[in-house]
Amino acid sequence: MNPADTNAGAQPEHHSAYRAALIDIVLRNQIWGFLLLAVILFSTASPFFLTVNNLANVLTQGAFIGLLAIGMTLVIINGEIDLSVGATMALALALAIGLQNSGFGPGTAILAALATGAFLGFLNGAVVVLSGMHSFVVTLGGLLGIRGLVFLYTEGDALMIADFTYTELVEIYLGPISLTAMVFLGLIVLFQWVLSNTRHGREAFAVGDNIEAARDAGIRVGRHKIINFTLCGLLAAVCGVLLSMRMGTAEPQAGRIWELWAIIAVVLGGTRLQGGYGSLWKTLGGVLTLAVVQNGLRLLNTPNYVELIVMGGVLILALGLDRILTYKIRAGRT
């Protein structure tokens, strides 16, 4: 069934180095295997799945969770977690629309929304670094409190944009690819470059892998954490702004449990939750797999509960498979 096993059995002894390397590559990129499997499955099951329009649609739908997942990947590689991104997204969404309704121009509103997101991310990071608290606790507080800010600002009601020309700003397409999808893919490439080609990226991995060793090596641990939390908040705000353009309304409960889906996408992709290992390509794979499964199930007209059960099942399966394969590698090597 899995390619690693067939390789392990078929190759002769002297190929073992290549074999190990090959198994490694396959295991570390299993998410693309999952994605391929899902695409094949849904292509045979529904004639509407494998069309340019639908796939472009999947990309746009996935992009929103995807934007949160980019920031989450940075924070997780750093050895932390951010549970507040869904609420931050909702606040940016509310501000982008609410500020325009109170007379500010779209540019000002968008900038204010982005700045608020970045500031809240910075606040999370600064509290984590200064207090030494676990980021799970800090951002769990943020999840509740920032949602409180959203309700405080909207007074619990949905806001609707007064001038609907704002929603046309986002109607830019490159072929079938929407602006939202382009922004998402562009940011994946940009931040993967940051991770692999800048000092900040390399040191972020070092911090996540072994924080004491990183500190001893003279890396300024706190600064990298604060930068990554700030980026995570900013990206959540980008997600909120794009959503505001697409919907023209801001629900105070928007983005509820999106932080969980973002974490799921990151982990499904294969980035290590304990930090120090991962990439945005993996996250892209995770985001696309989630989006494809969701879209495919909807095309098949399955009721909503099937989606929830399948998502939960896939996640446990992916985690279990990862565990079994990791044991196999270790057993094969030692």
Interface ranges with other proteins (CB under 8 A): 127, 129-134, 136-138, 140-149, 151-152, 155-156, 257, 260, 263-264, 267, 273, 303-313, 315-316, 319-320, 323
* CB closer to other proteins out of 155 and 212: 155
Give least dist CB 160 to other proteins, A: 20
Nearest approach in angstroms of CB 14 to other proteins is 34
How does DSSP classify residue 159? E
Local structure of residue 164 (DSSP, 8 states): G
Q: How far is the CB of 124 from other proteins (least distance, A)?
A: 10
On whether the CB atoms of residues 181 and 56 are closer than 8 A, the answer is yes
Nearer to other proteins, 165 or 304 (CB): 304
**Where does residue 57 rank: exposed (0-12), middle (13-18), buried (19+ CB within 10 A)?**
middle
Cβ 311 to other proteins shortest distance, Å: 5
Contact, 62 vs 291, CB < 8 A?
yes
Cα 5 to Cα 27, 34, 174, distances in angstroms: 11, 16, 41
Question: What is the 3 state secondary structure string of 167-234?
Answer: HHCCCCEECCEEHHHHHHHHHHHHHHHHHHHCHHHHHHHHHHHCHHHHHHCCCCHHHHHHHHHHHHHH
> What residue type is assigned to position 184 of the chain?
F
Q: Measured from the CB of residue 297, what is the shortest distance to other proteins in angstroms?
A: 11
**Alpha carbons 138 and 326: distance in angstroms, whole number:** 32
Q: Where are the alpha helices (DSSP H) in 30-134?
A: 30-45, 52-77, 85-101, 106-131
In the bound state with other proteins, the residue whose beta carbon lies nearer, of 134 and 199, is 134
Q: What's the closest the beta carbon of residue 180 comes to other proteins, in angstroms? A: 24
- Smallest CA-to-CA distance from 76 within 312, 293, 306, 277 is with 277
| Minimum CB–partner distance for residue 286 and other proteins (Å) | 12
Nearer to other proteins, 131 or 198 (CB): 131
Give the nearest distance from C-beta 130 to other proteins in angstroms. Answer: 5
Q: How far apart are CA 241 and CA 245, in angstroms?
A: 6
Nearer to other proteins, 178 or 230 (CB): 230
Nearer to other proteins, 176 or 222 (CB): 222
Is 123 or 245 the residue whose CB approaches other proteins more closely?
123
Distance (Å, rounded) from C-alpha 157 to C-alpha 145?
17
Cβ nearer to other proteins, comparing 20 with 211: 211
